[in-house]
Structure 1
Amino acid sequence: MAKPQVLCLIWLSLVSLSLSSSVSTPNPKTQLQSGTGEAHQELIKYGFPIGLLPTDVKSYNLNRTSGRFLIMLGDTCRVTLPPDNYLATYNKKITGKIVESRIAEIDGISVRAFFKWWGITGIRSNGQDLVFEVGMLSAKYPSKNFDESPDCEGRRTSS
C-alpha cells in the first residue's frame, strides 16, 4: 500500500509549477511577464514557498482577473523531491488557476509513485503545510520541505 507521504510528495511536485503567481489584488486585463526571480517572488507573496517551482523558470504570465497562469520553463524538467525522493516531472509549459492560498486546474506537473505517473491537479496552502491534490486524493507535507527551488536533473541551470 502507498504511504500518505508518497501521495503528498506527488502533490508537492505539481504545486511547484503552478505556484508561479497568485491573485490577491484583482486588476482586470493586467498581465505579468517575468523571469525566474519574479515568478518565485510571486509565490512568496501568496504564502507559498519558492521550492514549488524549479530554478529553470523562463517566464510566467498571470491574468489577475481570472487567476489563470502560464509558466514556461527552459525545457521539460525532472527533479527529486524530498523527503521521500519521489521523481517529479514539469512540462515545459505549466498552466492552472491561482487564488489566495489555492492553485487549481494544474496541468503540466506529474509525480511518480507506486510505479505510476500521477498528475498533480491542485495545491492548497494551509498554514505551515501544503496539501497536494491528485484527483480525489490528497497528501499533506510541511511547507519547509520546499524552501529551496530544485535544479532540474541532468543539466546545468543558467544564471
Structure 2
Amino acid sequence: MMNPKVLFVLALLLNLVANSFQKPNPKTPKSTLSRAHVELVSYGLPSGLLPATTVLGYAVNRTTGEFTVKLGGACKITLPPDNYVATYSDTISGKIVQGKIAELDGIRVRAFFKWWSITGIRSSGDDIVFEVGMVTAKYPSKNFDDSPACEGQHSSS
C-alpha cells in the first residue's frame, strides 16, 4: 500500500498534466487582439467586426478618419446570427468616426444568391447596423464581441 502523501502528490501531478492537454478557449482572448481590433473598440464598435486573423498593418488618419487594415490574407467567415457567408479582402478601407464606419471597402456578404458589398457599419444602442447601399440589417452587438475565425480562402465572384 502506498503512502497517502505520495498518492496525493501523484493525483495532483496527474491533474496538472491532464489540464495542460485541454483544448484552448475558441474565443479570441482580449490579450491577443491586434491594434486594429483594439482601435475598433476605442471607436465604440465591437472587435468582432474583424476576423481573428493576422493583421499585418493598420493605419488611421485621426483628422479625416480614413483607415486601412492589411490582413494576412483574404478569408471567409460566417456572420451570426443568420449564418450569412462574408468575405474579407486582404485590404479593408473606409472612414471611421465614433460609432460608425462609412465608405467601407473590402467586406462582402452573400445574400439572396448574390454577393453584396457592405458599405457601412454603425452602432445603434445595443445593436450593430450593416449598410448595403440603401438597405440595412440590424443585429445585436453582442454577436460581434468575439472575432470569428477565418474559414479559408475565398473567391467572391
- TM-score interval, smaller chain: 0.7 to 0.9
Aligned to 1:50: 47
RMSD (CA atoms): 1.5
| Equivalent pair of 1:110/1:118 in contact (CA under 8 Å) | yes
Matched, 1:87 2:85: yes
Matches of residues 10-159 of structure 1 in structure 2 within 5 Å? 37-56=34-53, 57-154=55-152
Taking the aligned partners of 1:87 and 1:60, their CA distance within structure 2 comes to 24
How far does the alpha carbon of each residue in 1:95-133 deviate from its partner, in whole angstroms, 9 at most, with x for none? 100111110000100000010000000011111111110
In structure 2, the gaps of 5 or more residues are 1-31
In structure 1, the gaps of 5 or more residues are 1-34
Taking the aligned partners of 2:68 and 2:60, their CA distance within structure 1 comes to 7
The verdict on how the C-alpha distance between 1:36 and 1:70 changes in structure 2, with shifts beyond 3 A counting, is: farther
Taking the aligned partners of 1:67 and 1:111, their CA distance within structure 2 comes to 24
Q: Using the TM superposition, give the Cα deviation of residue 58 of structure 1 relative to its aligned residue in structure 2, in angstroms.
A: 2.1
Taking the aligned partners of 1:145 and 1:36, their CA distance within structure 2 comes to 17
Q: Using the TM superposition, give the Cα deviation of residue 36 of structure 1 relative to its aligned residue in structure 2, in angstroms.
A: 5.1
Structure 1 runs (4+) deviating above 2 angstroms are: none
For 1:53, the aligned partner's letter is L
TM normalised by structure 2 equals 0.74
TM normalised by structure 1 equals 0.73
Q: Percent identity?
A: 64
Q: Whose RCO is larger (CA < 8 A, sep 6+)?
A: 1
Taking the aligned partners of 1:36 and 1:51, their CA distance within structure 2 comes to 10
| Equivalent pair of 1:36/1:59 in contact (CA under 8 Å) | no
